[in-house]
Amino acid sequence: MGSNPTPSAISPERPIPCDDVPMNFTLIVHSTPDAGGGAHSALRFAEAAHRNGHHLQQVFFYHDGVMNALASRVSPQDESELLTAWQSLAASTGVQLAVCIAAASRRGVLDVGEAERLERFATLAPPFELAGLGQLIEAVMDGGPCITFVD
């Protein structure tokens, strides 16, 4: 059996070790785009997994990680645009970008439905979608490794 990858071991050039068997990954991102690199590591891992023939079941943004889905976020010129990179990943792979609804609501990340219900403005960037923990559990139960990225 292959060894489990760690975020620090993932690079665009290095294949994900898993004995050439396609895997079905679920990723959980706890990190904001500005924090110590967890969100960037998750994106690099997801890109490498897809490039190496693996399937991405879901990327679930939890706790402060929901800030990755904020449509109004602007990156400084000298930093990569993480929001656009997540959107590109979803477009090229079809992976679901699920955002914990409870964590998102606490942080003002709202889709159109929640914004109308709360009489606020929608701030969730497409194709991110609000989801409950039950949807994360379903993705994990569908099999394959679940990897969490934190700072």
For residue 72, give its domain range: 22-149
| Angle in degrees, CA 58, 63, 65, rounded to 5 | 60
The catalytically annotated residue of 27, 46, 98, 100 is: 100
Structural domain contains residue 56: yes
Within 10 Å of residue 29's Cβ, how many Cβ atoms?
31
Amino acid at 37: G
To the query of whether residue 18 is one of the catalytic residues in this protein, the response is no
Task: Give domain status of residue 74, yes or no.
Answer: yes
Counted domains in the chain: 1
- Residue 125 vs residue 11, higher pLDDT: 125
Amino acid at 56: L
Question: So what's the pLDDT on residue 144?
Answer: 84
What pLDDT is attached to residue 14? 54
CATH number at residue 76: 3.40.1260.10
Res. 35: pLDDT tops 90 = no
In the predicted model, what is the mean pLDDT of residues 45-57?
95
Using 50, 70 and 90 to split pLDDT, how confident is the model at 3?
A: very low
Residue 93 lies in a domain: yes
Q: Buried (b) or exposed (e) across 90-126, using 16+ Cβ within 10 A?
A: beebebbbbbbbebbbebbbbbeebeeeeeeeebbbe
Q: What is the pLDDT of residue 2?
A: 42
What pLDDT does residue 80 have? Answer: 72
Contacts of 11 (CB under 8 A, 6+ apart): 44, 48
pTM: 0.85
Beta-carbon contacts of residue 86 (< 8 Å; ≥ 6 apart): 43, 59, 68, 69, 97, 128
Mean pLDDT of 46-66: 96
pLDDT at 1: 41
User: Has residue 4 got a pLDDT over 60?
Assistant: no
100 domain residue, yes or no: yes
Q: Is a pLDDT exceeding 70 seen at residue 30? A: yes
Query: What's the rounded mean pLDDT across residues 63-77?
Result: 89
